[in-house]
Chains A and B, each alone.
Chain A
Amino acid sequence: MLKVDNQQYFHSVHLMEDKCKGCVNCIKRCPTEAIRVRDGKAHIIEARCIDCGECVRICPNQAKIVVADTLNELNGYKYNVALPAPAIYGQLREGIDPRLVMAALLSIGFDHVVDVAFAADLVGKKIREAISAPSEIRPFISSACPAVVRLVQVRFPNLIEHILPVLSPMRAAANIARNQVAEKTSLDLKDVGVWFISPCPGKVSAINEPAGTGENTISGAIPIAEVYPLIREKINHCPEELDRIVADSKPGSGLGLGWARSGGENQSIGGSRQIAVDGIHSVIQILEDVERGKLSDIDYIEAQACVGGCVGGVLTVENSFITRRRVRILATESADRLDGVLRDKIACEALENEDWFRHDKPIEPRPTLKLDDDMATAIRKMEQMEKIVEDLPGLDCGSCGAPNCRALAEDVVRGLANEMDCIFKLREKVRQLAVEMMELAEKAPPAMGHVEKKAEIENAIGEHSAKAEPDTNK
């Protein structure tokens, strides 16, 4: 498990200071305005960061990195289970059977594999049941993408009750895995490593800091990008070895696999009053609408932070447009496997186990907008902030290190920045000072030899003497 240092919240996205050049690309792109540039380096405001990976994607200097587990961690356990995210199957060239990928995972050091797509098949069924039950709450929001869950906690705390309390396929897969291992071996569960093969930093953080579930049943997350070369190698060079293992694996159906791309989750749930939205900035727009009560005729929102869904996660390797197509083809080819999956003995047992699919802990809000704990003070700060905003140029250029003028004003009233951080304000101030200096200079005593002044004085003296001696010129 990753070390959690003295942060309030766990984050997998970190900054490599020496690579950061202090450009403003990341602050402009961050959906929660969680980044500021100070002293030439980016700083992440921890409480606001939702680990969506947008800054990792946008940084031109590769200064934002994702800290996750590595395959080395497997050595600390007697038995290791891999939970591959469905997005992994789209990474490999067309025509590769998911079972081969599962077998490859077994051959690179894992002892058991539970396909997250298989869990997704079961979760899909649970979601359908949950949303067809009568409820005041509409629409429900999927809890599958942890970046979206965090976004709701941080920016839309009013919508927490809309998050459907059905666990993500990753969590359900872990519960299934624990049970299977207990049946198969006599090992103590603390000797069993359960590893999610992750497409994104969001999942890494969600594992270390679960939302909606009290007990963490996952040991850590290993990036898809880390296992990818090894799996590719195995598939290309040791096909016979894999053929021998293949029989043992239980892959999900095409519908389960489909969760890797935007729209796949809805397809697996079935029904028509659902929408799928991908890309964190589009998700924000939709959540705004939900908050306004606009989407009450929709049952379910499949919301994914990455464009295209998990195939677009920052810990994947292939271009997401290509993987989206591959996943679609794979999903169609094995769509009918769902029947098989649902009739499967393991699946039936799992489905009976309600606890494996339900949130057992409320998701807590993490509001970060409040200007002060005392409302009267917050109101005063708000008024002050408005005055500052009016005074700023409104260019939203980001040169001050805040993503826009309003954010700078907010930082000022929070005592974290200064109005003069705005380069335009500073320039104005410098000009003013220059004018004042000029004026001061003009007030310099004549003894210092101020030319114009001297001339003036001489003139005045001249006139005076002219008046004093009116007769001399006659």
Chain B
Amino acid sequence: MHFVFEVQGGDFNKAGDASSKVKKILQQIGSDSAVVRRVAVACYEAEMNVVIHAHHAFVTLDADINQVMIVVEDEGPGIEDIEMAMTPGFSTAPDYVREMGFGAGMGLPNMKNCSSQMEITSRRGVGTTVRMVFDNA
């Protein structure tokens, strides 16, 4: 099962649409509610990161009876120091975004907590790809 959703950078109005769709699809195939929740939270965080930092992204969902995989591939500035970005509380979000209550620096750590495997690859000035795997038990 393979689905692709588009996310636009800077579009706060639509932020959360992709993760809502992912959530509904998982509910429809009968994933366990704890799994649905973890995927929804992680996917939402990833989507928010795109909205805050990147220009554009594709979110893909692949699922079978054993696992769920979410890949978020964005075109954007990339992450300078991934290790640093993974530190809870570290954030490069601009002030106006923080004023909206986002960009508290918990996105990536949260995503890591929710998923059973997470990989980030990033190229400066090109973009970032986050790959998250969840057990679909």
Which residues of A approach B to under 8 Å, CB–CB? 157-158, 288-289, 291-294, 365, 367, 369-373, 375-376, 378-379, 382-383, 386, 410
Contact A378 B37 (CB under 8 A): no
A383-B30 in contact given A291-B23, A292-B41 (Cβ < 8 Å): no
Which of B33, B64, B136 is the most central at the interface, judged by chain A CB atoms within 10 Å of its CB?
A: B33
Tell whether B76 is near chain A: CB-to-CB under 8 Å. no
A375-B37 in contact given A292-B19, A382-B25, A386-B3 (Cβ < 8 Å): no
Report the minimum CB–CB distance from B115 to chain A (whole Å): 14
Report the minimum CB–CB distance from A158 to chain B (whole Å): 4
List, in ascending order, chain A residues with CB within 8 A of B44's CB: 292-294
List, in ascending order, chain A residues with CB within 8 A of B63's CB: 379
In the complex, A112 Cα to B127 Cα: how many Å? 71
A369-B65 in contact given A292-B41, A379-B1 (Cβ < 8 Å): no
Which residues of B approach A to under 8 Å, CB–CB? 1, 3, 16, 19-20, 23-25, 27-31, 33-34, 36-37, 40-41, 44, 63-65, 110, 136
Which listed residue (A158, A294, A379) contacts B65, Cβ 8 A?
A379
A375-B65 in contact given A293-B44, A382-B1, A382-B28 (Cβ < 8 Å): yes
Q: Which residue of A lies closest to B15 (CB)?
A: A292
Beyond A288-B20, A292-B40, A371-B28, 17 extra complex contacts between A and B, CB < 8 Å: A158-B33, A158-B36, A158-B37, A288-B16, A289-B16, A291-B40, A291-B41, A293-B44, A293-B110, A294-B44, A365-B33, A370-B27, A373-B30, A378-B28, A378-B30, A379-B29, A379-B64
Which of B16, B28, B65 is the most central at the interface, judged by chain A CB atoms within 10 Å of its CB?
A: B28
Contact A370 B28 (CB under 8 A): yes
Contact A371 B30 (CB under 8 A): yes
Which of A373, A382, A386 is the most central at the interface, judged by chain B CB atoms within 10 Å of its CB?
A: A382
Contact A382 B16 (CB under 8 A): no
In the complex, A386 Cα to B44 Cα: how many Å? 22
Contact A367 B16 (CB under 8 A): no
Contact A375 B16 (CB under 8 A): no
Q: Which residue of A lies closest to B16 (CB)?
A: A292
In the complex, A292 Cα to B114 Cα: how many Å? 12
Q: Which residue of B lies closest to A406 (CB)?
A: B24
Q: Main SS of the interface on chain A?
A: helix
List, in ascending order, chain B residues with CB within 8 A of A365's CB: 33
Contact A378 B40 (CB under 8 A): no
Which listed residue (B25, B31, B37, B65) contacts A291, Cβ 8 A?
B37
Contact B27 A369 (CB under 8 A): yes
A293-B41 in contact given A158-B33, A382-B1 (Cβ < 8 Å): yes
List, in ascending order, chain A residues with CB within 8 A of B65's CB: 375-376, 379
Which of B19, B27, B110 is the most central at the interface, judged by chain A CB atoms within 10 Å of its CB?
A: B27
In the complex, A292 Cα to B63 Cα: how many Å? 20
Give me the 6 closest cross-chain CB pairs, A-B, nearest first: A292-B44, A378-B29, A369-B27, A370-B30, A158-B33, A293-B41
List, in ascending order, chain B residues with CB within 8 A of A369's CB: 24, 27-28
Report the minimum CB–CB distance from B17 to chain A (whole Å): 10
List, in ascending order, chain A residues with CB within 8 A of B110's CB: 293
Q: Which residue of B lies closest to A383 (CB)?
A: B1
Q: 15 A-B contacts, Cβ less than 8 Å apart?
A: A158-B36, A288-B20, A289-B16, A291-B40, A292-B44, A365-B33, A367-B27, A369-B24, A370-B29, A370-B30, A373-B30, A378-B29, A382-B1, A382-B29, A386-B3
In the complex, A375 Cα to B37 Cα: how many Å? 17
Report the minimum CB–CB distance from B31 to chain A (whole Å): 8
In the complex, A294 Cα to B27 Cα: how many Å? 20
In the complex, A289 Cα to B136 Cα: how many Å? 23
List, in ascending order, chain B residues with CB within 8 A of A291's CB: 23, 37, 40-41
List, in ascending order, chain A residues with CB within 8 A of B36's CB: 158
List, in ascending order, chain A residues with CB within 8 A of B25's CB: 382
Q: Which residue of A lies closest to B41 (CB)?
A: A293
In the complex, A34 Cα to B39 Cα: how many Å? 26
A157-B33 in contact given A288-B16, A369-B24 (Cβ < 8 Å): yes
Report the minimum CB–CB distance from B12 to chain A (whole Å): 13
Report the minimum CB–CB distance from A297 to chain B (whole Å): 9
Report the minimum CB–CB distance from B114 to chain A (whole Å): 9
In the complex, A158 Cα to B31 Cα: how many Å? 11
Q: Which residue of B lies closest to A160 (CB)?
A: B33
Report the minimum CB–CB distance from B41 to chain A (whole Å): 5
Contact A372 B37 (CB under 8 A): no
In the complex, A370 Cα to B25 Cα: how many Å? 9
List, in ascending order, chain B residues with CB within 8 A of A294's CB: 44
List, in ascending order, chain A residues with CB within 8 A of B37's CB: 158, 291
Q: Which residue of B lies closest to A378 (CB)?
A: B29
Q: Which residue of B lies closest to A413 (CB)?
A: B28
Report the minimum CB–CB distance from B66 to chain A (whole Å): 10
List, in ascending order, chain B residues with CB within 8 A of A410's CB: 28
In the complex, A107 Cα to B24 Cα: how many Å? 52
Which of B1, B19, B30, B110 is the most central at the interface, judged by chain A CB atoms within 10 Å of its CB?
A: B30
List, in ascending order, chain B residues with CB within 8 A of A292's CB: 16, 19, 40-41, 44
List, in ascending order, chain B residues with CB within 8 A of A367's CB: 27, 33
In the complex, A410 Cα to B24 Cα: how many Å? 12
Report the minimum CB–CB distance from A233 to chain B (whole Å): 51
In the complex, A375 Cα to B28 Cα: how many Å? 9
Q: Which residue of A lies closest to B106 (CB)?
A: A293
List, in ascending order, chain A residues with CB within 8 A of B3's CB: 386
In the complex, A294 Cα to B16 Cα: how many Å? 11
Report the minimum CB–CB distance from A209 to chain B (whole Å): 22
List, in ascending order, chain A residues with CB within 8 A of B19's CB: 292
List, in ascending order, chain B residues with CB within 8 A of A293's CB: 41, 44, 110
